[in-house]
Amino acid sequence: MPCMKHAPDSPDTRLAGTPPPATTAVTAVRSDGIEARQRLMDAALVLFSDKGYAKTSIREIALAAHANVAAISYYFGDKAGLYRAVYFDQRTNPQLTNDILDGAERGLEPALQGMLRGVMAPLKLGEAMQRCMKLHFREMLEPTGLWAEEIETDFKPTHAALMAALCQHLGVAEADDDIHRLVFTFMGLGTTPHVAGDVVAAIRPALLATPQAIDVYCDRLVIYGMAMVEAEARRRQGATAASPPMSSSCQATTAESATRPLPQPVSPSP
């Protein structure tokens, strides 16, 4: 979640000429401020996901959050700042690059595990995560520029970190198309529970019914991902091995050609 800048007190309670409050009062106000900020973000998530950015007003958000309109300016600057904070909320939309890099120090499997845990953990938030997915779909259909920004600041670094870990694991000096294909497949492993959770719930609801079930799901995805890595390693070994042996008839022809004396040049007749 973006860092929050605290002022001595909020615009709702600040009075000109009022002396600074005691330390305990500051702590209480800051605590209330955190709650007020979070209420605004929660209310904005519902409205932005239902109506989109353009059709949602700051007055609607403030009313739903039981807050003053001025609080939006205080905490987020403007509606665009609030939308950005909601869209990039680390509770529902965590950046995964650091988790991958931390794991990559110990190998590809911990890197993959770090990425998938980051992807799957927000599912434990329930409705909030569903709202987040809806918001992202709206952003793709009604772009404000944040989806394009996320590709540059999140997806590309995540892809690069996984690619580096995979290349190191397979002993590949430079990533080729197959490395990229496998990395895109890694990144898609946790997609189904997010975009088709209702399908999972209709067919096998127990798979995502509890936080523990989500953890098990994540662990299995790591296993499946490493199985794909092993399959790619075998494919590469087969591709770099010697060419398939020739048939016996081809071998005989080749051997005969190798032992047959070369024809001698014929001298021109006088």
User: Please, what is the Cα angle at 222 between 218 and 226, to 5 degrees?
Assistant: 165
123-151 confidence digits (pLDDT tens):
999 999 999 999 999 999 999 999 999 99
Sequence ranges of the domains in the chain: 23-87, 97-237
Asked if residue 71 lies in contact with residue 53, where contact means CB atoms within 8 angstroms, the answer is no
* Residues found in the chain: 270
User: Please, what is the Cα angle at 82 between 137 and 47, to 5 degrees?
Assistant: 50
Supply 134's token pair. 């809806």
Whether residue 103 is predicted with pLDDT greater than 50 in this model: the reply is yes
Query: Average pLDDT for residues 236-250, to the nearest whole number?
Result: 66
For residue 95, the number of C-alpha atoms closer than 13 Å in the C-beta half-sphere is: 16
Whether residue 10 is predicted with pLDDT greater than 60 in this model: the reply is no
Please tell me the class of the 97-237 domain.
mainly alpha
> What is the pLDDT at residue 210?
97
Cα-based distances in Å from 20 to 29, 151, 180, 264: 12, 44, 57, 110
Whether residue 243 is predicted with pLDDT greater than 60 in this model: the reply is no
Query: Average pLDDT for residues 210-225, to the nearest whole number?
Result: 98
- Domain 23-87, classified CATH 3.30.300.30, yes or no: no
Q: Sorting pLDDT into bands at 50, 70 and 90, what band is 9? A: very low
Same CATH fold, 97-237 and 23-87? no
Query: Average pLDDT for residues 192-219, to the nearest whole number?
Result: 96
> What is the pLDDT at residue 154?
93
172-184 confidence digits (pLDDT tens):
999 999 999 999 9
205-216 confidence digits (pLDDT tens):
999 999 999 999
Whether residue 21 is predicted with pLDDT greater than 70 in this model: the reply is no
> What is the pLDDT at residue 169?
97
pTM of structure: 0.74
